[in-house]
Amino acid sequence: MTSAKKLFIKTYGCQMNVYDSERMAEALGGQGYVATDRPDEADMILLNTCHIREKAAEKVYSELGRLKGLKAANPDLKIGVAGCVAQAEGQEIMRRQPLVDLVVGPQSYHRLPELEARTRAGETALDTDFPEEDKFDRLAGRPKAKRGPSAFLTVQEGCDKFCAFCVVPYTRGAEASRPAARVLAEARDLVERGVVEITLLGQNVNAYHGEGPDGRDWGLARLIRELAEIEGLKRIRFTTSHPNDMEDDLIAAHGDCDKLMPYLHLPVQSGSDRILKAMNRKHTAESYLRLVERIRAARPDVLLSGDFIVGFPGETEADFEDTMALVRAVGYGQAYSFKYSPRPGTPAAERGQVDEAAKDDRLQRLQALLNAQQQAEQAAMVGRTVGVLFEKAGRMAGQLAGKSDHLHAVHVAAEGEWLGRIAPVRIVESAPNSLHGELAA
């Protein structure tokens, strides 16, 4: 009997890439591949790349350089690059690194089996098209193996916003929403396999407008309410959102849908109207603050998360202080902040850049404020009882780790039978990046 071929996937970037890597593994599972966490024993290595962070392409080339030894030791090893860097770089990847056998963009990974077959025939394979067919339709159904208690589910891809700093419209394409019936079917399948929490994913997830089974257009709120009817599904989350697509019914869902968790990632990027306009964000600081008020009126205990870019081209100290003022006004429980770095092909890359020392200084000041807000939010949880979904063993023996309703990491002294279950936990201590609690049941 021929032994199974082994597949190693290294995933960079966002949750959507995690989801995509799962689907790539499933697509190649039909070709006889099984997953391994050891690249040195793999028959195929896939790098599922992200183009958002600074020098993303160069990091991929560095990783490919580190794989030369494995290729030399095993000439039959196939190496592929997938994801957004693959989409952006295309043939250039193969030119710079001849050891690469396969390059596939994020909209074409359903074609991996045929691309893999070409590599086994001694060819190189490149596919960075935006195909007309739906890749989700082409992928085989998920194998019925038991799953962990939480899962990602992509419902929307691409973006039409064309923010001046962002490559997503060029690497993921225009906004496209999956039909609601297919999303619901995939969610039911996940629940049958042990999933109790689903996070809906999209580059601009609240722009979701998929065809419903009734032939009408469904927004994200309608989809969430239908998902909430699935027996056994306990929690629903979604990310990442754009402020301009936060419609009234979605705001209302945060108040009236019990399964929709009190956590919302709502990037604003800057508090300066001048910089927001230069970013092509099409909202103002004031409209964002009024939106936050409406969301909190619907769900007073919601934890807000955000994204911030400092040092965007043209940003002055006054612009930065506007960002600090907005952060103080909102009060974030979690946030991600970065120095601006140019992305080739985007409008902002051609503009005059802010001094690196100024970027560093502003980032440190912003992160100090955001960290203080996060610590205050966590400290306020002490003494409260929250629901915690236990997902894995903790670092210490006899300890389990999980996520609270508000997406805080929580550690509890508990036995293994609680894995995969949600239990009430009384928070007793706040650590720098997590909470500690005890079972209240």
Residues of the binding site: 14, 50, 84, 159, 163, 166
Residue 217 pairs with which residues in a beta bridge? 211
Rounded to an integer, what distance in angstroms lies between the CA atom of residue 382 and that of residue 367? 23
Q: Which of 268, 289, 288, 290 is CA-nearest to residue 279?
A: 268
Structure letter (DSSP) for residue 194: T
Which amino acid does the sequence have at 294? R
Residue 137's region, left for phi above 0, alpha for psi from -120 to 50, else beta, is alpha
Q: Which of 201, 183, 185 is CA-nearest to residue 237?
A: 201
Tokens of 390: 């236990």
Rounded to an integer, what distance in angstroms lies between the CA atom of residue 243 and that of residue 204? 10
Three-class SS state of 178 = coil
Rounded to an integer, what distance in angstroms lies between the CA atom of residue 141 and that of residue 128? 23
Structure letter (DSSP) for residue 13: S
Rounded to an integer, what distance in angstroms lies between the CA atom of residue 305 and that of residue 340? 19
For the four alpha carbons of 190, 140, 39 and 88, in that order, the dihedral sign comes to negative
- Whether the link from the prior residue into 240 is cis, omega within 30° of 0, is yes
- Which residues sit in the known binding site for [4Fe-4S] cluster? 14, 50, 84, 159, 163, 166
Rounded to an integer, what distance in angstroms lies between the CA atom of residue 68 and that of residue 66? 6
Q: Which of 404, 425, 410 is CA-nearest to residue 197?
A: 404
Structure letter (DSSP) for residue 260: B
Q: Which of 204, 220, 209 is CA-nearest to residue 254?
A: 220
Structure letter (DSSP) for residue 355: P
- In angstroms and rounded to an integer, the radius of gyration of the C-alpha atoms of the chain is 22
Rounded to an integer, what distance in angstroms lies between the CA atom of residue 392 and that of residue 401? 5
Q: Which of 414, 416, 420, 419 is CA-nearest to residue 441?
A: 414
